[in-house]
Amino acid sequence: MKVLMFGWEFPPHITGGLGTACFGLTKGLVKHDTDIIFVVPKAYGDENQEAVRLVNASEVTIDLDIDEERTYWDRVQYMEVGSNIIPYVGPEEFSKISELEKRASENFKSKVFAQKYEFSGKYGLNLMEEVARYALIGSAIATKHDFDVIHAHDWLTYSAGVAAKETSGKPLVVHMHATEFDRSGENINTDVFAIEKRGMEAADKVITVSNLTRRIVIERYGIDPDKVVTVHNAVEPKDKKPSETEKQVKEKVVTFLGRITFQKGPEYFVEAANKILRRDNNVRFVMAGTGDLLHRMVMRVAQLRIGHKFHFTGFLKGDDVDQMFAMTDVFVMPSISEPFGIVPLEAMRSNVPVVISKQSGVSEILKHAIKVDFWDIDGLADAIYGLCHYQALSDDFIKYGKQEVESLKWEHAAAKVKDVYNSAWEAYNNR
């Protein structure tokens, strides 16, 4: 089977779990006789292409003065985003296109419609503009490659996936790694929500990374339950020796590693750290990552006067993550709403016991992890304290946790994704 896959990032250039999941899944799919064309907004030339043929969207040109190329625009419709108008590909009423043709032609001179466009591939101020251009690229690429199924990862690529479907007629599978409700709580970005909803409505199948996410997709977005399938994530096997990095401190080290933002619950980690330090000063806490709440967390640590026991490392990736785990005695993920959560699996693979929130998808499949409600600061502090002070407890979670994680292979998850492809393909052929 040949798959046209749209992603936003790919190792080693990643900012979170999405790129890691895409890499693991594609490697797993190769073991199930699947050929993958993987499209990213911006390729750097050093990506691992052992499992995919990478297409750099920044190198794809579109000339809307040429009739054949201009037909891509027939798939694109306008959508309000703030005070700007950008194209959105989706299953809107086709009659609206004619009403917007004049406005469309007036905007062909914008950067989105330029013959060549250099994506940043980041999550910056031009994100919506890049999502819009990516939709045009998706439609163009669909005419230039042979494939059976389209697979779009997360809301950033849904528009491109829908465009490719409407151009080629091939079935579309969209992968929901995190919903807007996970990222923003109830204060959602309505434009992002609309892209997610329209993408899932247009899809033939929707893959969610947990049953928690599946419930949100069905209840909050109104998607048909019959086409929503849960496939839990996995973790890459560790194919290199454990880091030989040694702690330079005598204290126990407790680590939070992830985006420092609302969804990840960093404030609960800080408050639990404060409770533990009141009982035992022989513990150090590390917050590894960046995000919009970083400054607030630094200020709160200062206010609690625990800065001498608290460290902020900034964003870590690759070998730096391995070194951090080598120095860690307990890993904590207190997420408020975590669709899945790959980092705890990486920690367990590195012989680190973990404490995770019950409000995470990964808690559905893990047995050898301590699970607490994210808001239960006392419970969180007690769990961390126990793993730091009772070696037999820690040793059990390390031993059996590692065994458990080693059974969670991407090739098993990929087999389930391949089944989803086959289901979508069979339905397409039986129309």
pLDDT of res. 114:
76
pLDDT of res. 47:
81
pLDDT of res. 15:
73
pLDDT of res. 82:
33
pLDDT of res. 70:
60
CATH superfamily label, 2-234+411-429 = Glycogen Phosphorylase B; (3.40.50.2000)
Residue-range domain boundaries for the chain: 2-234+411-429, 252-406
pLDDT of res. 11:
82
pLDDT of res. 110:
61
Query: Can you give 260-326 as a three-state secondary structure string?
Result: CCHHHCHHHHHHHHHHHHHHCCCEEEEEECCCCCHHHHHHHHHHHCCHHHEEEEECCCCHHHHHHHH
Common-topology check for domains 2-234+411-429 and 252-406: yes
pTM of the model: 0.84
pLDDT of res. 72:
56
Q: Are 365 and 331 in contact (CB under 8 A)?
A: no
* Rounded CA separation 395/172 (Å): 45
Give, for all 431 residues of the chain, the pLDDT tens digit: 999 999 998 888 877 778 889 999 999 999 999 999 999 998 888 888 888 888 999 998 877 666 655 665 555 544 333 333 333 333 333 334 334 444 444 444 467 777 788 888 787 777 888 888 898 889 889 988 999 999 999 999 999 999 999 889 999 999 999 999 998 888 898 989 999 999 999 999 999 999 999 999 999 999 999 999 999 999 887 766 666 677 778 999 999 999 999 989 999 999 999 999 999 999 999 999 999 999 999 999 999 999 999 999 999 988 899 999 999 999 999 999 899 999 999 999 999 999 999 999 999 999 999 999 999 999 999 999 999 999 999 999 999 999 999 999 999 999 999 999 999 999 888 87
pLDDT of res. 249:
85
Which fold would CATH assign to domain 252-406? Rossmann fold (3.40.50)
pLDDT of res. 20:
87
Q: Are 273 and 379 in contact (CB under 8 A)?
A: no
